[in-house]
Structure 1
Amino acid sequence: MATSRLEINFIRLLSRCESIALEKRGETEWRLEKYVGALEDMLVGLKRSSSKPAPEVLTDYSRKVDFLKGLLEAEKLSSPTEKAVANELLAPGRTPTIANEKTPVSKTVHVQRKARFTGEMKNELMGAGPSKAGSAERLDLRKRRGLLLDERQSVAELDAVLQQHHLLQEKLAEDMLNLARNLKNNSLAAQGIIRQDNQTLNHSVRQADANFEKLKTEADRLEQHAKKSVNWFLWLMLILVCFIFISTILFIRLFPRLR
């Protein structure tokens, strides 16, 4: 299928957004937000276009746009932990946007942001910057401990969510295997029934052919018997007529006075 002009522009803008996402934060963040908004409008136009791409291509486009939107939303969060959790839940694109990419840029951006958010979490936990003496130091220590507990709790919750998703995926895979196994058993059973029905049908056809041959033979014999019976009846009638004729002649010769 030929690539439409709208799709070409969409791919160019998508590649530009991914390149901006690879750069450091700064003046480019506001441009990325504007570009992602334009990408959403172009994606809607692609889905409604008469020359729209294949469904799997549209799915990958939507995945990449949602990933960029998720990056922007993650950057707006205040806590590094929240940013790390939001980034972990994002799903980057699976295929390169342009032909000369060896690895999808969205995956590189995902790994890059993950490393940065992890570094921010470590810096926050270690408490960067000098601390004041006395009560200020104790207060700062309490804040650190509370933050550390919150971080551990968030990490534990994230691990629990990931574990739950992992278990759900395993259960889904097991259900799919069971379904495939049941379908295979049902298919084999159906094949056995069909094979048995075919054997029964072939036997019935052979039996019908044999009965037809027997019926044909009996019909021929009956026809021959009927022909023989008719022939004997004709000869009998002919002999009887001849006998009556001869008897009449003899009767006339023997008793002429009766004329």
Structure 2
Amino acid sequence: MASGSRLQINFERLLDVCEKQATASCESSNWRLKKFVEDLQKKLTLLNKESCNKAHPEVLKDYERRVGVLQGILLAEDQGSPGDKLKVVQTIPFFKQTSIKANILETGPASAPDVLQHAKAKFSSQSRQALLGEGDGLRQRGGVSADTTESELDSVLSHHEKQQERLAEDMVNMARNMKDHARVASRIVKEDTKRLEDTNKLADSNYSQLKIESARLEEHTKKSNCWMLLLLIFIIIVFVWTVIFMKVFHKPRI
């Protein structure tokens, strides 16, 4: 065993036990694995906070990734259907385990990538059996060959792929139609906006012309009023002179 603190050594031993249990096919020990992983997380927190810790930073990152793999497997185990379990375990990032020998146990378990591959293979098998409807009762029939099973699996997967492609094509067409409708609506709005602007310009122009014509009409009205006043004065003068003339030069009586 390489040199290291007692906390690190205990952590590596517990990590060894957890990875062995994770690769085991027995599901009844999942509750024990959950407790171990919780203890691993606590020890890992202490390792990161330990002031005298001599562990290499890459080794600590390796510990975190390996614990993350175990947590992801436990999360997948909590899912209901095999398909959901497979989806969860496929989201766990794959990584290469560090090869720094100064801070890890020399006699360790299977590496974390192997544990992850084992979990993926396990859940893939469960999902395939659920997809094909293969339970214990179907196994007892014994009338289906391996080639037939693979052929049925390929046909089912091909059917699902075609459905996904059709769905993706429908979504693309829908997005294209929405884009076309949005473009047409935008063009209509622009045209209506332009018409409104032209109408406003025409209204402004008509208002300006109306003001000019009103000013001209007012000027003509003033001029006509002056001429009417002069004509009225002239008529009054003529009338007055006519009356005076008639008074002065009246007809003599015979």
With structure 2 as the length reference, what TM-score do the two structures score? 0.51
1:55 — aligned with what? none
Aligned counterpart, 2:22: 23
- Written as runs of structure 1 = structure 2, the 5 A alignment for 1:1-259 is 23-25=22-24, 29-32=27-30, 67-69=76-78, 86=82, 90-92=86-88, 111-115=117-121, 149-255=144-250
Q: Which amino acid aligns with 1:168?
A: Q
Report the 3-state secondary structure (helix = DSSP H, G, I; strand = E; otherwise coil) of the residue aligned with 1:90: helix
Do the aligned partners of 1:92 and 1:110 also contact (CA within 8 Å) in 2? no
* Cα distance between partner residues in 2 of 1:115 and 1:217: 91
Does the CA contact (< 8 Å) of 2:76 and 2:85 recur in 1? no
Report the Cα distance in structure 2 between the residues aligned to 1:118 and 1:211, rounded to whole angstroms: 79
Instruction: Call closer, same or farther: CA 1:246–1:102 in 2, change over 3 Å.
Output: farther
Residue 246 of structure 1 deviates from its aligned partner by 2.7
**Residue-by-residue CA offset, 1:201-229 (whole Å, 9 max, x unaligned):** 22222222222222222222222222222
Q: Partners in 2 of 1:117 and 1:242 — Cα distance?
A: 125
Number of residue pairs the alignment of both structures matches: 170
**5+ residue gaps in structure 1?**
1-15, 37-62, 75-85, 120-142
Decide whether aligned partners of structure 1 residues 250 and 114 sit closer, same or farther in structure 2, where only a CA change above 3 A counts. Answer: closer
5+ unaligned residues in a row in structure 2: which ranges?
Answer: 1-14, 35-71, 97-111, 126-138
Q: 2:88 is aligned with what amino acid?
A: P
Residue 237 of structure 1 and its aligned partner are, at CA, apart by: 0.9
**Identical-residue share of aligned pairs (%):** 28
Q: Does the 8 Å contact 2:89/2:120 carry over to 1?
A: no
For the residue of structure 1 that corresponds to 2:86, the secondary structure is: coil
Amino acid at match of 2:165: E
Greater relative CO, 1 or 2 (CA 8 Å, sep 6+): 2
Question: Distance between the aligned counterparts of 1:166 and 1:175, measured in 2?
Answer: 14
Instruction: Check 1:87–1:220 CA distance in 2 against 1; reply closer, same or farther (3 A cut).
Output: closer
In 2, Cα distance between equivalents of 1:205 and 1:193? 18
Alpha-carbon contact 1:20-1:32 (below 8 Å) kept: no
Inter-partner Cα distance in structure 1 for 2:152 and 2:164 = 18
8 A contact 1:67–1:92 mirrored in 2: yes
Would the alpha carbon gap of residues 216 and 200 (structure 1) be closer, same or farther in structure 2, given more than 3 Å must change?
same
**Equivalent residue letter for 1:92:** V
Q: Is the 8 A contact 1:92 1:107 kept in 2?
A: no
Note the C-alpha offset of 1:176: 1.0
Deviations 1:109-142 (A, max 9, x none): 66313446899xxxxxxxxxxxxxxxxxxxxxxx
Normalised by the size of structure 1, how large is the TM-score? 0.50
SS class of match (2:166): helix
Give distance in 2, aligned partners of 1:210 and 1:87. Answer: 72
Deviations 1:68-108 (A, max 9, x none): 145xx89xxxxxxxxxxx579721157669xxx979xx997
